[in-house]
Structure 1
């Protein structure tokens, strides 16, 4: 029945706010270290309410908190944009980001595709070597049905340590039989600890709610580690607004703009301190600095490439070899009613 109810919602089932309110008092910032920022990620953000609730609570510690959400369904993504700092309307598997998240709230769709649990796919991808999103000792809060823990036991036991499992309250549990798995990202302390955790998760997956304490009975505190600013949080395909942002920050684009844009607007030619010599005037005209339409004639500066051939003589005065010399010559062309004149 739980699977039918989940599928009727397209695999989406928002976390009841009342359940999350019981968990939040047990989240804590490490007071012994200087906290730069706390990054939060929800790859199944829905309307963003769950992550917003977590973000608001952590801000009571007077630290900077940044919330990032991913939501595939367009209308829910629009609503999430109003609550979270950054939201991408995209599938979680194609997101490009960094392993800088302090907390991962993962409440994936409850379903099975091609004989594999969807919850396992989310967990395995987001904590893999190539796509991992968590910092060392980053906190995982994995909200799934209790019977799914068996399928996820290997990944949880192999990639997380200090795992604790609590179920929803008696009022909320029956619909989806949901539990919340807490764990620190990192290899277990020993292979024996990994085996014990895996066996424990498989065992409780086959039993009922009576084997687990409720979230009302949580006693320990779960530390949310600090991180640094996220520099990359992008959709899989490059979008127009992202391209515009990249170009604005690109050093190559800045260099190009510097070369083609005048350094100062409305810049004007300054008068020389001393009178120009003939050569100076010729160069100025040839370069285009002065010239143009003078009423009854037009002056244009032209620089031409000139090739000259010279013969190198030997000691007896005989031609030994020919040398070609290439240089540039500036010419001033004057267009008049009488014709075109070149001044060299």
Structure 2
């Protein structure tokens, strides 16, 4: 499905939302390639889905089948993302279950700013940055060899953030975005197993965070080795919210309608609407128990005397206790307690007979 407003959607800022501008996005796409036939890519702050949609289209043009997954906290943007991505969730990222190592590309342009400080906390450390929180929460969704595209204000790259990046990624490249309204930089990397970070990489990122690399603008034509998005082997992984609202539930039921049981509901359950035929012979207690357990003994019944009850049958399991005594040759007496399961039918009803007993609960056992 084509984007409804690809450029207009990127031109507003709301609640810390700084969408990726078109010029930066086009240069990022130029640095990407594919290394497989079936790819999965994730944007955990996908906004209206325009950026990840364009990345998917570019990778598809390289000959791969690409699934695009997104998460967005804002309802209006999330519902638009649902129309342009394969699967988008309207939820807080903290409420989303993401399988580690399930994605080949992580496109992360997180909210910018400080977390609201906890006035009750002690210590000298100030509030954490949203950029770091989102990065820690999502970078492990990348498979080893997966590609990171991180878009943050350059001044966020302090010693802590630089160490975290260098410890978990190879081929780290820092570039300033061509559009500098929000002082954004673009950091590329390839995930590796966590190891001791190279001091040169850490120093370079810290220097960039201090503004010493502002002349390294993301090139319009990528001439270095491209960042190839790998194919992820084995399973689809988990991608779902732990809490879901009614609107999203309804949308998911509609989306999965063709694969659900409900189109065949009448085939499987319509038999209960048929007329009940009387048994050929009088029912015994076991037959009654089966009828009760199956839910067939229910409804309004009227006795010959005129008494009327609304009944519902059921069964429950009881235990019958018996004791056996045995005597050994030496005269010792031993006692064995035996508990035997027994299914007990029971009918409960509401007395609808006019009179003093109207509304009382009746139990037939």
TM-score w.r.t. structure 2 length?
0.61
**Aligned counterparts of 1:66 and 1:222: Cα–Cα separation in 2:** 18
Is 1:80 aligned to 2:88, yes or no? Answer: no
Contiguous gaps of at least 5 residues in structure 2: 1-11, 118-126, 287-365
Q: What do the CA deviations read for 1:274-301 (whole angstroms, capped 9, x no partner)?
A: xxxxxxxxxxxxxx9xx84xxxxxx642
Matches within 5 A, 1:152-231: 152-169=161-178, 172-173=179-180, 175-187=181-193, 191=196, 193-216=197-220, 218-220=222-224, 221-228=226-233, 230-231=236-237
**Aligned counterparts of 2:205 and 2:20: Cα–Cα separation in 1:** 22
**Aligned counterparts of 1:205 and 1:154: Cα–Cα separation in 2:** 12
- How far is the alpha carbon of 1:249 from its aligned partner? 8.4
**Aligned counterparts of 1:14 and 1:232: Cα–Cα separation in 2:** 26
**Structure 2 contact 186–218 (Cα < 8 Å) conserved:** no
* Larger gyration radius, structure 1 or structure 2: 1
**Aligned counterparts of 2:153 and 2:281: Cα–Cα separation in 1:** 82
- How far is the alpha carbon of 1:161 from its aligned partner? 1.5
Q: Identify the residue that residue 53 of structure 1 maps to in structure 2.
A: 54
Helix, strand or coil: the match of 2:151? strand
**Structure 2 contact 106–148 (Cα < 8 Å) conserved:** yes
Q: Identify the residue that residue 309 of structure 1 maps to in structure 2.
A: none
- How far is the alpha carbon of 1:215 from its aligned partner? 3.1
Structure 1 96/212 Cα, relative in aligned 2: closer, same or farther at 3 Å? same
Q: What do the CA deviations read for 1:216-253 (whole angstroms, capped 9, x no partner)?
A: 3643211110125534321121564569999x9899xx
200-209 or 154-163, larger mean C-alpha shift = 200-209
Contiguous gaps of at least 5 residues in structure 1: 1-6, 252-256, 267-287, 293-298, 307-344
Structure 1 56/184 Cα, relative in aligned 2: closer, same or farther at 3 Å? same
Aligned residue pairs total 253
- How far is the alpha carbon of 1:8 from its aligned partner? 6.4
1:119 equivalent among 128, 131, 142: 131
Helix, strand or coil: the match of 1:120? helix
**Aligned counterparts of 1:261 and 1:207: Cα–Cα separation in 2:** 71
**Structure 1 contact 44–108 (Cα < 8 Å) conserved:** yes
**Aligned counterparts of 1:153 and 1:250: Cα–Cα separation in 2:** 47
Higher relative contact order (CA 8 A, sep 6+): 1
**Structure 2 contact 41–66 (Cα < 8 Å) conserved:** yes
Matches within 5 A, 1:1-344: 9-30=14-35, 35=37, 37-99=38-100, 100-113=102-115, 114=117, 115-127=127-139, 132-150=140-158, 151-169=160-178, 172-173=179-180, 175-187=181-193, 191=196, 193-216=197-220, 218-220=222-224, 221-228=226-233, 230-237=236-243, 240=249, 292=278, 300-302=280-282, 304=284
Q: Which has the higher helix share?
A: 1
TM-score w.r.t. structure 1 length?
0.64
Q: CA RMSD in A?
A: 3.5
